[in-house]
Homo-oligomer: A and B are copies of this chain.
Amino acid sequence: MTSSSRTPTIKDVAARAAVSASTVSRAFSRPDMVAEAAYQRVMKAAEELGYQPNPLARSLALRRTGNVGLILPDIANPYFTPLVKQVQRRTRALGRSLLVADTDQSDVVENELAEALIPQVDGLIMASPRSHPEALRGFAARVPTVVVGFPVEGVRSVILRTRPQMTETLTRLKHLNHDQVAWLRGPREAAVADERDRFMRSAAEELGISLLEWGPMPIAQESGAAVVDELLESGATAAVAFNDQIAFGLVTELRHRGLGVPGDVSVIGIDDSILSRLCVPALTTIRVPIASGGLEALEALDAVMNLPERRIASLRPVHTVISSEIVDRATVAVRKVQR
């Protein structure tokens, strides 16, 4: 039998091509360092044997894996979906593999996953992490890490800035005569939620808008639907939600009650997830370019991952900023005149 059942190794190829293992190795990684004749023989032998270099052995010897890890709170959340898609595509294009891990929105799980992933990856992308900054710095000290979403002291981050667009949103509402605006807050645990609370409050104050708050509330349509009664009583004529999902729930429930959107109430979401286009009428929202953020993070990692040895902490803690933009669709209108 010529065809052994074992997967062929570099030695098999070497034997068949009558060269040493090193030469085979070189033929694959640095063809220019091997004589044409030898190269041909090696390739032929490899071909015949169906040889494929074992990436594991390669990683061990090289001390780098070529893998990148992506840790995120919820892979099923439409906000993150494009991130995963794009990063996975680009990772592949770079000749690497992507390990994804979903934390189920738990900081405890997040830590476990990071620990598990770190030894198997050359770089780590943490999208909207829930971990303490201190923990994040710990990860970054062990493997090149970049956080996507907000700045973390001492860690490379790609910041998705929404503040100007949130302010602008309130400004526009003001111009449309809305002076009582509802703010549907995000989940208690998320860092972005706090941040957005602050942005909204200070912008409202500056503009002399009275901000009526609900929440904290979990990220779910139901959250948006649940506030409708109170919101209608409150006198608010416009609402901004922590994200599209909550906004979607609000819009749907308002219409279900026979109210007009934007006729009776204007609604604005944040994220520009797929939901905002599915919403009827299409949701006006603030686009947060999470996918671009992920790609940016990946490029940063790729640069250091290509360095000769695996030097830890080689990623300088610079902070890149990507701006959001308002996507004006169909849920905002001038305040209805009293009758």
Contacts and interface: CB of A to CB of B under 8 A. Distances in A.
A contact patch SS: helix
Given A60-B57, A75-B81, A78-B78, A102 B88 contact: yes
A98 B97 contact: no
Nearest to A113: B92
Copy tally for this chain in the complex stands at: 2
Contacts of A248: 278
A280 interface: yes
Contacts of A117: 97
B65 A76 contact: no
A312 B92 contact: no
Could you say which interface size class chain A belongs to? 35 or more
Contact of A278 (B59, B85, B278): B278
Contacts of A5: 312
A217 B82 CA distance: 23
Interface string A169-210: 000000000000000000000000000000000000000000
Contact of A98 (B85, B89, B100, B115): B100
A119 B54 contact: yes
Interface in A86-145: 88-89, 92, 97-102, 104, 113, 115-117, 119-120, 142
A36 to B, nearest CB: 27
Interface of A: 5, 7, 52, 54-57, 59-60, 65, 74-76, 78, 81-82, 84-85, 88-89, 92, 97-102, 104, 113, 115-117, 119-120, 142, 221, 248, 252, 255-256, 274-275, 278, 280, 312
